Amino acid sequence: MTTPPDAAPPPHPTLSPIGGEGFGGTHATSAASGGEGFGGSASGGGGVTKVDPITLEIIRGSLASTIRDMELLMERCAMSPFIKEKKDYFVGVFDTQGRIVACHISGSGPGMLGPILEFYPLESMRPGDVYWYNDPYISDGAVQHHQDMVFTAPVFHEGRLVAFATTFGHYQDIGGLRAGSISPLATEIYHEGVLVPPVRIVREGQLNEEAYRIFLRNSRLPDLVEGDTRAMMASCRLADTRLTELCGRYGADTVLAAFDECIAQTAARTRELFLQMVPQGRWSFHDFLDSDGGADQRPFRVELELSRTGDHVRLDGSRSDDQARGPINYTSNAGLLRIAFGRYLQSLDADLDVNEGLLRNLDEWIAREGSILKPRFPAPLGMRANTRFRVMSCIFGSLAQANGGQVPAGSPVYVLYYFRSWDEARRRPILCIEGLGVGLGARPFADGVDVIYYIAQENYPVEYVERDFPLRVERYGVRPDSSGPGLHRGGCGVVRDVRVLCEKAELATRMENTLVAPYGVAGGRAGRTGRITLNPGTPGERELVPLGDGIVLKRGDLLRFETCGGGGWGDPLERDPERVRTDVARGFITARGASEDYGVVLDPATLDLDKTATDEERRRRARDLPLIDRGPGFDEAETRWRAARNSARS
């Protein structure tokens, strides 16, 4: 029986705040000044250990090297393509307070140790232990959807607990409604696979085989799960070895003092940059998700208010829509918003380390209980990234108003499709979950990045897809004119044509930004929306629902994915005509797009630039431009959203 969306979760131990970060409340608040988790973990005895600058840099470099080694081990030893090919994983080193000391580039990390430290006191931990969980609600969003499995190993030196090595990876299948465990049809978290509360899966080197077998039995692809689990545990053991060696070389007190100093240095620089970025005042911005995959296909609204009073910066998302029935809900918390700000601050200062100090930016995050940003258990969360990206667009939309547009333009959500079939000979499912790149928003100083999936993650190589699945990739290239025009154009999306080579199969689609485009900034124009077409150019051509499941495919069907481009920045008529000509020659812009979007006149045969005609055309088109260009779909989304809200009230 389906549990009602507003039902209370099953009882579990109440999680109390750790370091001032709420694990279960309606909002998390922290002061940027004072202790708040930025103080010392290093003192073996009376005084505070000092670390000299040279030793500090050696330890800092050793931590970075440890993270790289953990990454390489994950990629080489994992079994599922989601980790070894797409690189959807996280590795990190934490201190005994649960603070990030060093980690892999990701949008995750804050609060990840919180549930383990709450359930297992430090004094109960032993060398050789490994702790495991994946529950987004128990972790208050530190794990954002529970296909991401967290493994943590305590690190001991001479009997003293000094740190934690942590990994997570996105598992290919953990049970649930459909193969792959994520479906637009999910209406509760139980449809998305097995929930694992914090457990000690390895005790002093001995795996709890009985508990582990229960989990494996609930996966459609247990061999991949087994391989990924071994890889993540091995990555933790590798970090244990590296950190133990470091403590042996310099002494545990010195290493822990270096942890504190690295965090403190990053915190000071982060806070300085952040306050420079956010002026005094109050600004609000809203954006829409296309839908939650439900039958009514209604848009969902995310609204944020950014404010600064004195040195206190607050972000308020309480006016965002109520939680969705479908899986676009996002269990946000202050740490996730802080790491998002921190990632952007790294673009302003590349020397910022990724540690707890990078979180010393936002002072207060408010999310309303029962909203799409703070859903009640057991709301589904599988496609929470759709909402997280809208949160980021609202943050930068607010900042654009505050600083006259000195922020990146809007970026679309990455694209996924789930191809499911059955291997009769091997008696097992065929499951290809492929991520496709999109174009990112232009920046005030440069074009947006073309064809990127997400941060350091990657799409599958064509050779891998064709070797392991009954699919043939017949086209893969940049999608011309998908980028938002601008002085700096948005990044381009892709066109990928995939042919079905088995007798029958089933498809789930996951494409956002088919209605609402990523916005342009400072005169730049919005990016162009995406679409998915079945059998294009044939009598059976039809456009597929962008968030759907159970779409029946047969041998010979062709799927065409055309992904969204990023918004542009600045007036397109001010872009150097030679750069436009180069984009046309490279296939990023068509000759028609050069004329219509940039006022650049080219010879259609030779692509020679007609400078006189270009100058005249641009003079003719001179006009005032908006700070934010929403694109044509935004007004439609606003109208549909208001109609749905009024209907619900009547």
3-state secondary structure 234-273: HHHHHHHHHHHHHHHHHCHHHHHHHHHHHHHHHHHHHHHH
Average pLDDT of the chain to the nearest whole number: 92
Category of 346 on φ-ψ map: left (φ > 0), alpha (ψ -120 to 50) or beta: alpha
pTM strictly above 0.85: yes
**Whole-angstrom Cα distance, residue 28 to residue 603?**
58
Chain position carrying tokens 């004094």: 123
Kindly indicate the confidence band of residue 47, based on its pLDDT and cuts at 50, 70 and 90. low
pLDDT exceeds 80 at position 40: no
What band does 450 get if pLDDT is binned at 50, 70 and 90? very high
Residue 43 predicted with pLDDT over 70: no
Q: Are strands 312-316 and 364-366 parallel, antiparallel or unpaired?
A: parallel
The span from the CA of 165 to the CA of 152, in Å, is 6
What are the pLDDT digits (tens) for 179-192? 999 999 999 999 99
* pLDDT tens-digit series, residues 240-295: 999 999 999 999 999 999 999 999 999 999 999 999 999 999 999 999 999 999 87
Q: What is the pLDDT of residues 334-376, one digit of tens each?
A: 999 999 999 999 999 999 999 999 999 999 999 999 999 999 9
Alpha-carbon dihedral 468, 471, 473, 478, rounded to 10 degrees: -90
Q: What is the pLDDT of residues 118-142, one digit of tens each?
A: 999 999 999 999 999 999 999 999 9
By the 8 A CB rule, do 162 and 245 touch?
A: no
The pair phi, psi for residue 572, each rounded to 5°, is -60, -30
Angle between helices 222-250 and 209-217 (to 10 degrees): 140
Mean pLDDT score, 88-99: 96
Q: What is the arithmetic mean of pLDDT over 221-238?
A: 97
Q: Give the closest residue to 135 by CA, choosing from 12, 8, 6, 293.
A: 12
The Cα–Cα gap between 399 and 275 comes to 12
Average pLDDT over residues 437-451: 96
pLDDT attached to residue 528: 97
Contact of 225 with 201, CB cutoff 8 Å? no
How far apart are the C-alpha atoms of 290 and 243, rounded to whole Å? 46
* pLDDT of the residue at 78: 96
Asked if pLDDT for residue 27 goes beyond 60, the answer is: no
Angstrom distance (rounded) from CA 94 to CA 152: 10
For residue 399, give every residue at least 6 positions away whose Cβ sits within 8 Å of its Cβ, in sequence order, or none: 277, 278, 283, 306, 406, 407
Q: Which of 548, 543, 574, 547 is nearest to 559 (CA)?
A: 543
What gap in Å lies between CA 613 and CA 555, rounded to an integer? 51
Q: At which residue do the structure tokens 């290809």 appear?
A: 432
Closest CA to 246 of 420, 65, 491: 65
pLDDT for position 296: 75
What confidence score (pLDDT) does residue 42 get?
A: 53
DSSP annotation string for 318-345: TTSPBPPSSTT-----HHHHHHHHHHHH
Residues 523, 621: contact at Cβ < 8 Å? no
Q: Which amino acid is at 495?
A: V
Reported as half-sphere exposure (CB side, CA atoms, 13 A), residue 333 has a value of 28
How many degrees, rounded to 5, is the angle at CA 608 between CA 605 and CA 614?
115
Does 35 have pLDDT greater than 70? no
Q: How confident is the model at residue 458 (pLDDT cuts 50, 70, 90)?
A: confident
Q: And the tokens for 533?
A: 């077409």
Name the more confident of 421 and 45: 421
CB 235 within 8 A of CB 166: no
Q: Which long-range contacts (CB under 8 A, 24 or more apart) does 241-249 make?
A: 242/62, 242/65, 242/66, 242/69, 243/66, 243/93, 243/155, 243/157, 243/162, 243/163, 243/165, 244/155, 244/156, 244/157, 246/59, 246/62, 247/157, 247/158, 247/162, 248/157
**Tens digit of each residue's pLDDT (9 = 90 or more) over 480-497:** 999 999 999 999 999 999
Residue 10 has pLDDT above 90, yes or no: no
Q: How would you write 76-137 as a 3-class SS string?
A: HHCCCHHHHCCCCEEEEEECCCCCEEEECCCCCCCCCCHHHHHHCCHHHCCCCCEEEECCCC
Please tell me the least confidently modeled range out of 328-342, 449-463, 510-524.
449-463
Cα dihedral 514, 517, 518, 523, rounded to 10, equals 160
363 within 8 A of 313, measured Cβ to Cβ: yes
Contacts of 130 (CB under 8 A, 6+ apart): 151, 152, 153, 200, 201, 202, 233, 236
How many residues make up the chain in this entry?
650
What is the phi/psi pair of residue 612, to 5°?
A: -65, -50
The two tokens of residue 415 are 């694209």
pLDDT over threshold 90, residue 176:
yes
